[in-house]
Copies of this chain bind each other. A is one copy, B any other.
Amino acid sequence: MTDPSGVDLSGGLSCPVPISEYKQVLLAHGGGGRLSQRLIDEIFVSRFRNEHLSPLHDGALLPPADGRLAFSTDSFVVNPLFFPGGDIGSLAVNGTVNDVSMCGAKPLYLSTAFIIEEGLPIDVLWKIVLSMEQAAKCAGVEIVTGDTKVVDKGKADRVFINTSGIGVIPAGVDINPRRARAGDKIIVSGTIGDHGMAVMSVREGLEFESSLESDCAPLNGLVEVMLAATQEIHVLRDPTRGGVASALNEIARSAEIGMILREEEIPVAEGVHSACELLGFDPLYVANEGKLLAILPSADADAVLNAMRNHPLGQRAAIIGEVTEKDAGKVLMRSRIGGTRIVDMLSGEQLPRIC
C-alpha cells in the first residue's frame, strides 16, 4: 500500500520557510524548546495567523459568546493523507466544522493538534497546513490554538490531526436526534458515498472511468440557509463513518421511531455506483464528508429543500424517506422493484481509516 502523497508533492510545492532546511520533522521539533518554537512559528502561526491565535499562551483567549455553545472533537487518521477532492488537512477542518454545524451551531473557532511521526517530510506538513488554512478560510472559522507532538519513527503513521471546535447556537434552534417525529421528512443534501469510495479507490490503486472525488466540504453555509428557511429542523446529522445507514439507525433508536426510505430517491453518483458494485460495497454504508441528513416536519420540507437546492452544496438534495410510528428503532427501505428490507446498522468495520 503506497501513499500517493509523494506523487502529489512532485508537483513542486515545497515549504519556503527556513525550518524546511531540516527536510524532515525530528523528535526535537516536539521537545518544547527552540526547535518546537520555530516549527510552530514558521509553519503553523505563519499560516493560521488571526487575532485570537496567541502562540505565547497555553490557550486562546476568545470574546464572550452570545448564546448556547456547541463543542465537538474529532481525530483524523485517514490513509492516504492526500486523495482526490481533499486531504487530511481539509478533512480535519471540515469534519469538525460539520460536527459543530450538526448541532445547529455556527462554528467559530477550531483548535488543531498534530501527532507527527518522526521523519515526516516538512513539505508534506506544509502542504497539509496550507490546505487547513484554505479550508478554514472557506468555512469562515479561525484556528486559534494548537499543539504539536512528535513520536519516534514507527510509532504513528506519518501524521494524525485532531481538531476541536466551538460554535454558537442561534436562539430558537433546537436540533436533537430525539426530536424526530412520525410524519417528518428525511432529506439528504446530495449524492452519498463519494468520500469513502474516493479514498478507497486511491488506496487500492483502482481506476474507474468516471473519476471519484471526495465530497469533503464545510456544511455550515448550507445549514445557515436551511435554518433561514425554517428553524423547525428537528435533526441534523452528517453521515461520516458508517454512512447514511448507520446515522439513520442511531437516530431511529434514540428517538424510538421508525424510518422508511425510498431507494430510488437516494442520490448516488454514477462513479460511486460502479465502484461500489465492483468492490461489493453498499453506498448506504460508505462515508460522506460533505453531506448532511435533515429530519424535519413535512410542512417545512419543500421550503428547506428549495433553499438547499439553491446552495452549491445542496443542488442534488432530495427527500429520501420519512419517519414512521411503526417499526420503532428500525430503518426500512422500499426498493426500486417494490420490496422492503431492513437497513441495519453496520456491525463491523467496512473501511478502516476513512477519516
Contact = CB atoms under 8 A, between A and B. Distances in A.
Interface of A: 26-28, 30-37, 56-77, 98-100, 102-103, 105, 109, 111-115, 144-147, 149-152, 154-157, 160, 162, 164-167, 169, 176-178, 237-238, 240-243, 246, 250-251, 254, 285, 287, 345-353
B111 A71 contact: yes
B68 A164 contact: no
Contact of A352 (B30, B113, B240, B347): B30
A348 B35 contact: yes
Given A71-B144, A162-B75, A103 B58 contact: yes
Q: Which among A56, A109, A345 has the highest number of chain B CB atoms within 10 Å?
A: A56
Contact of A241 (B32, B177, B348): B32
A346 B31 contact: yes
21 contacts: A27-B352, A28-B347, A28-B348, A31-B352, A33-B285, A33-B346, A33-B347, A35-B347, A37-B345, A58-B100, A59-B103, A60-B70, A60-B72, A60-B103, A64-B68, A71-B111, A72-B111, A73-B164, A115-B160, A152-B353, A156-B160
Q: Which among A66, A74, A242 has the highest number of chain B CB atoms within 10 Å?
A: A74
Given A73-B162, A162-B73, A68 B57 contact: no
A271 to B, nearest CB: 23
A27 to B, nearest CB: 5
Contact of A66 (B37, B64, B99, B287): B64
A257 to B, nearest CB: 13
Contacts of A77: 115, 149, 151, 155
A57 B177 contact: yes
B152 A33 contact: no
B30 A349 contact: yes
Contacts of A31: 241-242, 346, 348-352
Closest 6 pairs between A and B when the two form their complex, measured CB to CB: A32-B241, A33-B346, A59-B72, A32-B242, A31-B349, A73-B111
B27 A112 contact: no
Contacts of A28: 347-349
Contacts of A71: 59-60, 62, 109, 111, 144-145, 166
Given A31-B352, A35-B348, A147 B113 contact: no
A59 B63 contact: no
A242 B36 contact: yes
Nearest to A168: B64
A238 B349 CA distance: 41
A75 B115 contact: yes
Contacts of A98: 58
A154 B151 contact: no
A98 B266 CA distance: 48
A75 B146 CA distance: 9
Contacts of A115: 75, 77, 115, 160
A220 to B, nearest CB: 12
Contacts of A105: 59
A30 B113 CA distance: 20
B56 A145 contact: no
